Structure 1
């Protein structure tokens, strides 16, 4: 029995450390996008808390401006039901999936609803006014 315990613990850690924290069922599609955050095409990205929708990704991407030098990009597929796309609520206070009712903050974290995983986040880097979004 004493030899079995270390193997059992190893198995528990292997399962606990699996790469499933983005949510089950969201297909991984290649993303390599660049946008000019000062473009007239994205007027809301000129203010903190502003956002823009892009068509890339699985269900699309939502870009959120945290402040002038920090933009976050999230997959719009809901981690609870990837067939549904999230959007910014009309109050502009949070992101919502109208299919299941899950709510997410502008950092991608779950605020309420059946979703237990946060929004899948893409990497972003800003070079001047060009924002690069990749996975």
Structure 2
């Protein structure tokens, strides 16, 4: 039997893991973060982190585990190919680039990590 999203509206229990990342936003390693609306995926957090650039001074970081059923093996939020929203293709929940629910069964927004920009270094933590 394949694991899927459940019907619970209880607050999601995304496991807490230590997040302490720093990335150089002007690095050739992260060219997408040089433009507004750009994003990158990091191998950190519980199931990964999406970092989104709002503007040159503001970056947001979200957990990729879908808050609807974060323990489902297929529950992984990504940027939709249209680049207009974030989606979990498992349960079809959609989120805007501020992490708020816009469609689907999820009732809670994406788990957000703290970000701080110092020079060209972006610090991501919880």
Residue 64 of structure 2: aligned partner: 76
**TM-fit CA distance, 1:132:** 0.1
Gaps of 5+ in 2: 1-10
1:107 aligns with 2:98: yes
Say which of 17, 25, 36 aligns to 2:24: 36
Instruction: Give a deviation string over 1:66-100, Cα, whole Å, max 9, x none.
Output: 00000000000000021311000000000000000
Report SS of the residue matched to 2:123.
strand
Aligned length: 113
Between Structure 1 and Structure 2, the one with more helix by share is 1
Runs (4+) off by over 4 Å: none
Q: Given the two structures, how large is their TM-score scaled by the length of structure 2?
A: 0.88
1:50 aligns with 2:38: yes
Q: Superposed, which structure 2 residues align to 1:80-99 within 5 Å?
A: 80-82=68-70, 83=72, 84-99=75-90
Pairwise CA RMSD of aligned residues?
A: 0.7
Q: Superposed, which structure 2 residues align to 1:4-19 within 5 Å?
A: none
Say which of 117, 122, 132 aligns to 2:108: 117
User: Relative contact order, CA 8 A, sep 6+: which one is greater?
Assistant: 2
Gaps of 5+ in 1: 1-22
Residue 14 of structure 1: aligned partner: none
Q: Given the two structures, how large is their TM-score scaled by the length of structure 1?
A: 0.82
